[in-house]
Amino acid sequence: MLVTGCAGFIGMHVVLRLLQRGDEVIGIDNISDYYEVSLKQARLELISRNAGFRFHRIDIADGDALAGVFSADRPERTVHLAAQAGVRYSLKNPQVYARSNLNGFLNVLEACRHNGAAHLVFASSSSVYGLNASMPYRVSDHTDHPVSLYGATKKANEVMAHSYSHLFRMPVTGLRFFTVYGPWGRPDMSPALFTRAILADETIDVFNHGNMERDFTFIDDIVEGVLQTLDRPPVPDPAFDREHPDPATSSAPYRIYNIGNHTPVPLMTFIATLERIIGKKAKIRMLPMDASDVRATWADVEALQAATGFSPATSLEAGLERYVAWYRDYYRA
């Protein structure tokens, strides 16, 4: 198996699970400084203790270097998780999103195409739903109105992947992740930002005056969804209707799935749960809605469950307890 973004939050957990079940894993990461490099290095150190793991420090935007790894190692299946993350950061530094999320993804598609990959699974995002206000978000919904450049690049990934699947009969699966949290999580996400602020008696920013909902999904459920789909390369859908095309399936070996906890949680409930686990009240500053954000997310996971028999089920309380315990230990907070 080859995993891009192996030093990232989701990447590290996916690599560990693959190794635990006996797979050999090739990891790729550029160890970018988008957030604290020490955290990425600590994740990499953890997975590098395993004999079945080999690491290449390269940038997926370097097409020649990426092609060299694929040509030398010939991975059977690829999990593509490397990307420039962050919705609000895309307003400040849009060029890095084009380099990583567009050019980098094209390089991954080319590498898989020329090396006979049996299956490519790639990370998409709930951000593709954009202005769509129909809840829950269904994979059959159209996603033509993203509200951030990050969401637009993830939408682009989905249609780029479909073109390669169609042209080269390459099995490809896209996974739309919903607000992932858990141990080793990113420090720029709300669980880390809120936990750090509460412990330090600092103020947290709450957008749209708290009138927000998110489908918080625990990392173990995300990883299980990745592995369940990785083991099931898609085949052309015989029921695909070109006159009424379903965006989630195709006459090509291509599928799209949501992976979310299918339970939207009000942001103030999330904060209250975190306060209860930490044992301290948060200091809150209410702010208006950000133009790059949406009020709510909610995953319909019927397609995932029908295809794999799996749907996420970790409760917010259980997931946050594990996250806060890790946070206190790692940051000695």
Using one digit for the tens of pLDDT, what is the confidence trace for 125-141?
A: 999 999 998 999 999 99
Cα 121 from Cα 226, distance rounded (Å): 8
What pLDDT is stored for residue 290 in this prediction?
Answer: 83
Beta bridge partner(s), residue 259: 177
Residue 292 has pLDDT above 90, yes or no: no
Q: What percent of the chain has pLDDT over 90?
A: 94
Tokens of 48: 């590098």
**CB neighbourhood size of 96 (10 A):** 16
Instruction: Look at residue 228 and tell me if it is in a domain.
Output: yes
Q: Is the pLDDT of residue 122 over 80?
A: yes
pLDDT score at 297: 93
In a domain, 321, yes or no: no
Closest CA to 258 of 316, 294, 215: 215
Is-contact 170 113, C-beta < 8 A?
yes
Q: For this structure, is 150 an active site residue?
A: yes
Positive or negative: CA dihedral 180, 182, 186, 190:
positive
CA-to-CA distance for 333 and 328, rounded, in angstroms?
5
Q: Is the pLDDT of residue 329 over 90?
A: yes
CA distances for 283 relative to 112, 196, 271, 275, 323, angstroms: 48, 12, 10, 10, 20
- Annotated catalytic residue within 35, 150, 164, 181: 150
Output the pLDDT for position 89: 82
Q: What is the pLDDT of residues 152-211, one digit of tens each?
A: 999 999 999 999 999 999 999 999 999 999 999 999 999 999 999 999 999 999 999 999
Q: For residue 86, what pLDDT band results from cuts at 50, 70 and 90?
A: confident
SS3 content of the chain, % helix, strand, coil (to 5): 45, 15, 40
In a domain, 214, yes or no: no
**Over 90: is that where the pLDDT of 16 sits?**
yes
Which residues make Cβ contacts (< 8 Å) with residue 328, sequence separation at least 6? none
pLDDT at 76: 96
Domain-embedded: residue 14: yes
DSSP 8-state code for residue 215 = -
For the residues 107-116, what does the mean pLDDT come to? 96
**158 belongs to a structural domain:** yes
DSSP-derived pairing of the beta strands 119-125 and 77-80:
parallel
pLDDT at 248: 95
* 3-state SS class at 201: coil
Which of 66, 73, 133, 131 minimizes the C-alpha distance to 104? Answer: 66
CA–CA separation, 141 and 32 (whole Å): 34
Q: Is residue 324 part of a domain?
A: no
Report how many domains make up the chain: 1
Q: How many beta carbons lie within 10 A of that of residue 204, not counting itself? A: 17
Average pLDDT value for residue range 242-267:
96
Asked if residue 208 is part of any domain, the answer here is no
Q: First-to-last CA distance in the chain?
A: 36
Percentage of the chain beyond pLDDT 70 is: 100
Looking at residue 32, which CATH number applies to its domain?
A: 3.40.50.720
Which uninterrupted H or E stretch holds 256? strand 254-259
Helices and strands (H and E) in the chain: how many: 11, 13
Supply the range of the domain harboring residue 39. Answer: 2-180+219-262+298-314
**Does any domain span residue 63?**
yes
Q: Is this structure's pTM higher than 0.85?
A: yes
- Is the CB of residue 210 less than 8 Å from the CB of residue 286? yes
Please compute, for residue 281, the number of CA atoms within 13 A of its CA located in the half-sphere on the CB side: 2
Which uninterrupted H or E stretch holds 277?
A: helix 267-278
